[in-house]
Structure 1
Amino acid sequence: MSPVLPQVVAPLCLGVIIHLGLFIRGEWHVHAASVFLTHALVFTPLLIKQFISEPAPTYGVLLPFLAYFCGILASMAVYRLYFHRLRSFPGPRLAALSKLWHAWLSRNSQSHLVLDSWRQQYGAFVRTGPSEITIFHPAGQEWLDGPLNRNARSDWYDLLLPSVQVFSRDPAVHVSRRKVWDKAMSLSYMKQYYKKITTHVLALERIISAKKAKPIVINDLIYRMTFDVLQDVGFGTMDIEAQKGAEVIGSSLSILGPLSPSPWILRIAFDLFPGVWRIPHWFKFIELTMGIVEKRMKNEPESVDVASFLIEDAHRKDADRASREAVYGDSGILILAGSTTGPVLILVLYCLARWPEHAEKIRQELRNVDYNDMTALSALPHITATINESLRLYPAGPSFGSRQTPPEGLQCDDVHIPGDIKVIAPRYSIGRLEEAYEAPHDFIPERWYSKPELVKDKRAFAPFAMGRNSCAGKKIAMSQMRLTVSILLSKYSISFAPGTSDEMFVEKEMKDQMTALPGDLELVFEELETPVWK
């Protein structure tokens, strides 16, 4: 027998045993760095010793380890392709082997287009990972997040560890944090926030007015305004220069575009390679959040802000550890969630420039309304429907939001998804389903109020009806978007800059980085002869 053979067979079998006996059981993404380090700590000293002593060929150490890893990888491949509970679901074979394939295809941060191409190729229920099903069905969001669902948050939400926040995978922590957020978003406080939002929207309008109808790339202006709103409404401060803050947030989200499909890669990077590639941007965001919170805790603002409720809850006499630590975690969520408003607002303005007839309909609605009246503005059907229709075509989170099925599995009409499987229902694709909408690629805001028959499956309404969603962050976002659109349309006609060669550049270049990141939008704001509001 060859002396090399035992050095191959035994470790090969050990790799298979380790995979089948250990790694296919439970979740390992949080421990990915520990697994990586353990193997490195075992292998590296042995290899060094081999090189120093040289009593045998180098393959005396290297070959067994290669055989061990080959055993693990071969066992994973055979199990995932031929014995996994999802083996009967259609989908790309390489994605069934590893989410690394999805991450590679999403390297340009357009995962929403990757998923949509799989929808067109494989149908409504697609296996997009070893233990992952993506649902392209009008009821997808209802099955994931509807009132009767028993799904849990997926491994993606562990990216936020060790912070404690409202998106915790622990249901008890989520419920307790949600109560604090609901209190912060009561109607009386929303009216106070609305006054602050108005100040910043009017400041944006003054910048646009000073441009004298010259072409403006609106993206940076919108991002800076939304960051100012975040600081003021969230923390009662304006300490950080808006452009710097917006850049830190944007840079931190850039790592999520290619790597969101594989959270375990990010866990390894956060723990072991914090200085590599774009990973430092994530820690700069954490540093930014910590700095804002610490300044806020030292200085009480003159008016109410969201942080007041987080701090008050943390300082309760009976506050537990989670409540005390959640000040930082929930503040981070506030900044991340608030950062979605800017991209959505840019895409709404893009839609209004592309389909200007809806701008005129909104102006007609505004004629007898005071923009200072938040309640009156929210009652206008066409402006809300225009935002909802924009969200249908260009969602705030094109493919964001994943869940894990309960132990008994998830029944989707006549399709059963086994228990403990990650499920996703990407809004970008659902918003374009022929079976959900008449003319799904057309921009028809009226489908949300005067032509409900254009929504074929009413279950498809939920993901895009932002105006009717009571989620805390969306209340502020919707108020800010309504107000911004109202003030701008009341004074200006909006059009693409002269010489724009491709009006669809904004959506063609849109990135999927947890939130949508549209391409540059260059617009002309020309003053109306008769403004709606003097």
Structure 2
Amino acid sequence: MDHLHAISSYGLGLWDQGRLSPVAALGVPLGVLFHLALSRLGDAERFMYTLIAAMLFLMLGILSVSVFLGSSFLGALAGLCILASTFNVGLFSSMVIYRLFFHRLRRFPGPFDLKISRFFSVLRVAKEAKYHSDVAKMHERYGDFIRTGPRELCIVRDSAIPIIYGPNTNCHKPTCYIGFSIKALQTYEPRITTLVTKLADQVSNKRVLDATAWSMYLTFDVMGEVGFGKDFGCVSSGTNHPAIQSIRDHMHILGVLSHIPWLLNIVGRIPGASKSYRPLFSYCQSQVEKKREGIDLEKYPQDIMTWLLKAVVEKDVSASPTKESLLDDARLLIIAGSETSAAVLASALFYLAKFPRVLKKLQARIDDVISTPADWTYEKARSITYLDNFIDETQRLKPALLTGGYRRTPPEGILIDEQFVPGNVSVIVPIQLIQTDPRYWKQSADFIPERFGERSAEMGTGKAPYMPFSHGTYGCSGKNLALMTLRIAVSILAQRFDIAFAAGETGEVFDKEAKDTFTTYLKPLNLQFSPRK
């Protein structure tokens, strides 16, 4: 504090002498000119790291030159502070005026603060992480086209889905994983079935358990097995692997900072900031190295990481370009693949407990095809239409991603109905909101699996927007794996157990308090599992 007081006192003295006034006068127009130049280069996020490094280097250079030319260190530092302050006044004033009155998205309605900066979006979600609820409120106030950021649009129209997410879209995002082919899935099915059987055995012993936690144990084990050929041991132990728990403990922070991706990346690069994630990083790195050492290119890959390594060795166009990107793929594979399936499975169990009629109907349909648990096979389970109807309705009301992912419009822009959307902006159709919109879904808030089956024509399901796995080229490549896991888990558990809310559990907190983090974060759900007679 003494140093700051000395600098400020020294600076005020120089200001009184008139020596810093020219510096202050220079800072504002420089800030404005910098913003105008920056806006012509496109989105600064693409080169934010370089920009920050260049600005720090420039400030150090100005300070050094000032001292070299005869200024005292305090005088040079005071001048630099004045210049930086006035520069930022010019920069941010120009930025605010441009974004409000001259930006290509200026015609679109939306909250005043979000038009200025995504930092305000972070402030909105920091406390509860319910961005999907915020979007729903904005939709009610501003309509179908909402400006949710300086360069972001949220669009709540079914006609926007094929244009933004369809197979022939010109809107883009990064590519996804390989290793989810139908042939590959055939090698995963027996291992997933073994893990679900272990879960059923645990359920038999415990009778009452937290469906949210145990769904997560199962799906993390599945992704460990499918991703690396080795599960985490979560189902066997009834606890999270340390590598997984470290991430779970920080999903709220990840969800909040994900609204400013470049800031999340910078925070992650600060020494010590990613300490909590080291168990996962170390685990993934060790598994990748083991797979690399033991890879046999002549054998058909038995897990996704082997597929990824095989692509690198064979220099396939889908291969990860660097070692670090390969490790990133490994980490994202575990987190995204596990969290999403866990959220849907826990929600499915919630609906089975909440609606006994649905549970009884599902059990009857399973019994018609599979007379006893000993006769269960995946082929038989997959043939049960009502099982898929039930899973589809679960994902309609409670999709794994409540808001979804952004796409970038092409330079020429896109036309959605009567509305032209300019090029090079981020657009999104919020998944849960569009899938529960009463304009497209009859009895939109009600859980009716039959809308995907025998009542499909009556309820107009075929024309309604449904996108839990997104669509097109950039849709979720793990869709088939996720559906396989859900079919196996739901059919085995429903066949063997009657499911109800445990004593003292109503399901209200689970139902209403989901958080929109990197994926959907669910509250605990205590369920009673009673063996069927």
TM-score band w.r.t. shorter chain: 0.7 to 0.9
Q: What is residue 145 of structure 1 aligned with on the other side? A: 165
Q: Provide the secondary structure at the position in 2 that maps to 1:255.
A: helix
Residues 23 and 465 of structure 1: is their aligned pair in 2 closer, same or farther, counting only changes over 3 Å?
closer
Matched-pair contact (CA < 8 Å) for 1:388–1:467:
no
The CA deviation string for residues 423-459 of structure 1, in whole angstroms up to 9 with x for no partner, is 0111121122111111111111111122224655745
CA distance in 2, matches of 1:466, 1:35: 34
CA distance in 1, matches of 2:233, 2:500: 32
Is residue 79 from structure 1 mapped to residue 98 from structure 2 by the alignment? yes
Residues 496 and 9 of structure 1: is their aligned pair in 2 closer, same or farther, counting only changes over 3 Å?
same
More moved, 54-63 vs 481-490: 54-63
Q: Provide the secondary structure at the position in 1 that maps to 2:109.
A: coil
Residues 320 and 428 of structure 1: is their aligned pair in 2 closer, same or farther, counting only changes over 3 Å?
closer
CA distance in 1, matches of 2:229, 2:277: 24
Residues 314 and 41 of structure 1: is their aligned pair in 2 closer, same or farther, counting only changes over 3 Å?
closer
How many residues in Structure 1 have an aligned counterpart in Structure 2?
498
CA distance in 2, matches of 1:321, 1:147: 22
Q: What is residue 160 of structure 1 aligned with on the other side? A: none
Map 1:107-186; keep pairs closer than 5 Å. Answer: 107=126, 108-153=128-173, 166-167=175-176, 181=178, 184-186=179-181
Q: What is residue 185 of structure 2 aligned with on the other side? A: 190
Aligned-pair CA distance for 1:286: 3.3
Matched-pair contact (CA < 8 Å) for 2:320–2:326:
no
Aligned-pair CA distance for 1:294: 1.4
Aligned-pair CA distance for 1:462: 3.5
Q: What is residue 170 of structure 1 aligned with on the other side? A: none
Q: What is residue 359 of structure 2 aligned with on the other side? A: 359
Residues 297 and 194 of structure 1: is their aligned pair in 2 closer, same or farther, counting only changes over 3 Å?
same
Q: What is residue 331 of structure 1 aligned with on the other side? A: 330
Supply the AA of the counterpart residue of 1:353: A
Q: Provide the secondary structure at the position in 2 that maps to 1:368.
A: helix
The CA deviation string for residues 468-501 of structure 1, in whole angstroms up to 9 with x for no partner, is 999541111111111111111112111111122x
Matched-pair contact (CA < 8 Å) for 2:165–2:472:
no
CA distance in 2, matches of 1:38, 1:468: 39
CA distance in 2, matches of 1:323, 1:40: 30
CA RMSD of aligned residues (A): 3.1
Q: What is residue 11 of structure 1 aligned with on the other side? A: 27
More moved, 92-101 vs 380-389: 380-389
Map 1:204-219; keep pairs closer than 5 Å. Answer: 204-211=199-206, 213=207, 215-219=208-212
CA distance in 2, matches of 1:223, 1:147: 32
Q: Provide the secondary structure at the position in 2 that maps to 1:309.
A: helix
What TM-score, normalized to structure 1?
0.85
Map 1:89-100; keep pairs closer than 5 Å. Answer: 89-100=108-119
Aligned-pair CA distance for 1:80: 0.3
The CA deviation string for residues 195-229 of structure 1, in whole angstroms up to 9 with x for no partner, is 10010001001111001x3x311222221221211
Aligned-pair CA distance for 1:34: 2.9
Q: Provide the secondary structure at the position in 1 that maps to 2:241.
A: helix
CA distance in 2, matches of 1:243, 1:356: 34
Q: What is residue 527 of structure 1 aligned with on the other side? A: 531
Supply the AA of the counterpart residue of 2:478: G
Supply the AA of the counterpart residue of 2:159: A
Q: What is residue 237 of structure 2 aligned with on the other side? A: none
Q: What is residue 293 of structure 1 aligned with on the other side? A: 288
CA distance in 2, matches of 1:417, 1:318: 35
Supply the AA of the counterpart residue of 1:431: Q
Q: Provide the secondary structure at the position in 2 that maps to 1:152.
A: coil
Q: What is residue 495 of structure 2 aligned with on the other side? A: 490
Supply the AA of the counterpart residue of 2:395: L
Matched-pair contact (CA < 8 Å) for 2:163–2:169:
yes
Q: What is residue 175 of structure 1 aligned with on the other side? A: none
Q: 2:377 pairs with 350, 373, 379, which one?
A: 373
Among the aligned pairs, what percent are the same residue?
28
Matched-pair contact (CA < 8 Å) for 1:313–1:323:
no
CA distance in 2, matches of 1:193, 1:32: 41
What runs of 5+ residues in structure 2 fail to find an aligned partner?
Answer: 1-16, 235-239
Aligned-pair CA distance for 1:405: 0.3
Supply the AA of the counterpart residue of 1:312: K
Map 1:204-353; keep pairs closer than 5 Å. Answer: 204-211=199-206, 213=207, 215-238=208-231, 243-251=241-249, 253-271=251-269, 273-276=270-273, 279-282=274-277, 284-299=279-294, 304-316=302-314, 322=320, 325=323, 327-339=326-338, 340-353=340-353
Q: What is residue 446 of structure 1 aligned with on the other side? A: 450
Structure number with greater Rg is 2
Residues 320 and 476 of structure 1: is their aligned pair in 2 closer, same or farther, counting only changes over 3 Å?
closer
What TM-score, normalized to structure 2?
0.85
Q: Provide the secondary structure at the position in 2 that maps to 1:192.
A: helix
The CA deviation string for residues 90-148 of structure 1, in whole angstroms up to 9 with x for no partner, is 10010000001111111132211121211111111100000110011223432321122
Q: Provide the secondary structure at the position in 2 that maps to 1:387.
A: helix
CA distance in 2, matches of 1:474, 1:322: 21
The CA deviation string for residues 57-98 of structure 1, in whole angstroms up to 9 with x for no partner, is 975332221100010000000000000111110100100000
CA distance in 2, matches of 1:458, 1:336: 32
